[in-house]
């Protein structure tokens, strides 16, 4: 997807996604909510929300052509009817991360941590969309949204556990893990 899409994730009492679990893994917590609504576009979110997290899809920042072609060949769209599980994982990285040069960040993300390669292993079951919040002045640098069928719940646990042991994750200074069921 090339044209940036603005997306709001609204936590509150309404929305198609019921919160099964919400936990702060690193840093300050996020208020518990019963449901989450995902709304595309830059407008306001109708109704009352306990929190609204915003991000924008963007051009790829680290992915090279070979990796991008592999992702495109393997990935499924969001909104599959069988994908009744979702996860929203808001993350903020440290100043040390953002002060690195481009080649240093790429080295840590892929050559050291294999972030892209690990994600590829879980396609097509686990669909994923990354939203950037940092340049919008949002509290979270990244909002990653995952959708998967119930039968892939174990694979999803494995995926996030593997990523959290990487060198890249040493730069994560805030991480919330929100699991959802539709």
- Give residues in contact with its own copies (CB under 8 A): 2-4, 6, 42, 56, 58-65, 67-68, 95, 98-104, 106, 132, 134-137
- In the bound state with its own copies, the residue whose beta carbon lies nearer, of 31 and 65, is 65
- In the bound state with its own copies, the residue whose beta carbon lies nearer, of 114 and 134, is 134
Are the C-beta atoms of 110 and 140 separated by less than 8 Å? no
- In the bound state with its own copies, the residue whose beta carbon lies nearer, of 3 and 161, is 3
- Cβ neighbors of 22 (< 8 A, separation 6 or more) are 30, 32, 33, 176, 177, 178, 179
Spatial distance between the Cα atoms of 98 and 93, rounded to a whole number of angstroms: 8
- In the bound state with its own copies, the residue whose beta carbon lies nearer, of 104 and 150, is 104
- In the bound state with its own copies, the residue whose beta carbon lies nearer, of 6 and 35, is 6
Q: Which of 177, 178, 128 is nearest to 152 (CA)?
A: 128
State how far Cα 109 lies from the chain centre.
Answer: 15
CB of 7 to its own copies, least distance (A): 12
Sign of the four-CA dihedral 133, 154, 75, 42 = negative
- Cβ neighbors of 159 (< 8 A, separation 6 or more) are 118, 119, 121, 122, 126
Are the C-beta atoms of 85 and 149 separated by less than 8 Å? yes
Q: Which of 161, 136, 131 is nearest to 146 (CA)?
A: 131
- In the bound state with its own copies, the residue whose beta carbon lies nearer, of 79 and 103, is 103
């Amino acid at each position: 997807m090339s044209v940036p899409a603005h997306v709001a994730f609204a936590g509150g009492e309404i929305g198609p996604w019921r919160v099964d679990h919400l936990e702060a893994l690193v840093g300050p917590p996020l208020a518990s909510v019963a449901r989450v609504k995902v709304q595309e576009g830059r407008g306001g979110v109708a109704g009352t929300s306990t929190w609204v997290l915003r991000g924008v899809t963007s051009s790829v920042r680290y992915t090279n052509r070979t990796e991008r072609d592999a992702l495109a060949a393997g990935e499924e769209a969001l909104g599959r009817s069988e994908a009744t599980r979702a996860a929203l994982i808001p993350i903020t990285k440290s100043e040390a991360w953002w002060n690195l040069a481009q080649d240093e960040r790429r080295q840590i993300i892929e050559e050291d941590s294999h972030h892209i390669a690990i994600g590829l292993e879980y396609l097509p079951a686990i669909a994923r969309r990354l939203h950037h919040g940092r340049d919008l002045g949002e509290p979270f640098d990244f909002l990653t949204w995952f959708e998967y069928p119930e039968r892939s719940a174990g694979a999803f646990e494995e995926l996030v556990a593997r990523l959290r042991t990487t060198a890249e994750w040493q730069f994560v200074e805030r991480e919330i893990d929100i699991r959802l069921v539709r």
